[in-house]
Amino acid sequence: MTKKLTVAFASGKGGTGKTTVSVNLASAAAAAGYEVAYLDCDVEEPNGHLFLNPSIRRRNPVSVPVPVIDPEKCVNCGACGEICQYSAIVCIKNNVLTFEKMCHGCGGCQLVCPSGAITEKGREIGVVEEGEAGGINFFHGKLNIGEAMSPPLIRAVRSAGKNNLFTIVDVPPGTSCPVIAAIKDVDLVILVTEPTPFGLNDLDLALDMVKEMGIPHAVVVNRSEPENNLARDFCRKRKVRLLAEIADDRRVAEAYSRGELAFNAAPGYRAVFDDLLSAIEKEAIR
């Protein structure tokens, strides 16, 4: 690998095995000698650390800007409330009320205030932790309990881990704003699915999302069974490349339950993830 490559692992639903695939691939890349970073952007419930067991060396709080009103300068014009699309700032009679947890930190209210009555302060929403795990540069975010907006923290995780040759991004499930923040500007999205009607329904939604964003993509089927052709037929119908199928193997499940990597603990799976790494490299330069 001679240029920087960022690969995101996403899915339309939770429980398909994004983390299982991404942490094992990170280990395969490290074993192959790559400068690799693993970024866990599922900041509401990060779990990659359970398998990689990193030594955390740095913790950086992440804040978002929220408005502060100076009542002595406020002229009660209502311009701030009119521009806010999220009702995070509301003018009621001669009072201006702010709802910090609804604020998206756009700064629009400060820009339109004619009297300079609005300044900003930082409100901490979570933390980015950085460390090292067996030759893997490790980054993840932890969103504070009760916080509703994860994209600013996800962007902070992406920014913290950007200076690596091969970057693996573990994406939140679904197709909403957190996913968009996690996959923006990546080189390739690997959509991890399971060969069930529910899994393929949500894969369909995820495919529409990455196609709309214009990001190259491919599919990995987890918990695959030889006689089950649902995922294969789906990929053929949607004309999307199927890079790998990971067998529905009890040994992988047992390793997972112990917090171990199949790459190390399940015989034969080192070759599976080495092959997936090679397939991703070829897909990225297509």
Where do the CATH 3.30.70.20 domains begin and end in the chain?
71-116
Lookup result for tokens 């390739």: 188
Residue 255 has pLDDT above 70, yes or no: yes
Least confident of 90-94, 201-205, 243-247: 90-94
Residue 184 has pLDDT above 70, yes or no: yes
State the Cα–Cα distance between residues 145 and 261, nearest whole angstrom: 29
The pLDDT of 81-86, averaged and rounded, is 95
State the Cα–Cα distance between residues 142 and 19, nearest whole angstrom: 16
pLDDT at 163: 84
State the Cα–Cα distance between residues 142 and 167, nearest whole angstrom: 19
When the candidates are 3.30.70.3040, 3.30.70.660, 3.30.70.20, 3.40.430.10, the CATH number that belongs to 71-116 is: 3.30.70.20
Cα-based angle 161, 222, 14 (whole degrees, multiple of 5): 65
> How many Cα neighbours within 13 Å face the side chain of 98?
20
3-state secondary structure of 267: coil
pLDDT at 37: 97
The pLDDT of 41-56, averaged and rounded, is 97
What strand order describes the sheet that includes 5-10? 55-69, 118-133, 136-143, 36-40, 166-170, 5-10, 188-193, 217-224, 242-247
Q: Average pLDDT, whole number, for the chain?
A: 94
pLDDT at 3: 79
3-state secondary structure of 159: helix
The pLDDT of 220-231, averaged and rounded, is 94
pLDDT at 1: 60
Residue 94 has pLDDT above 90, yes or no: no
CATH number corresponding to 5-62+126-284: 3.40.50.300
- Return the higher-pLDDT residue of 19 and 161: 19
pLDDT at 2: 59
Residue 174 has pLDDT above 90, yes or no: yes
State the Cα–Cα distance between residues 193 and 223, nearest whole angstrom: 9
Residue 283 has pLDDT above 90, yes or no: no
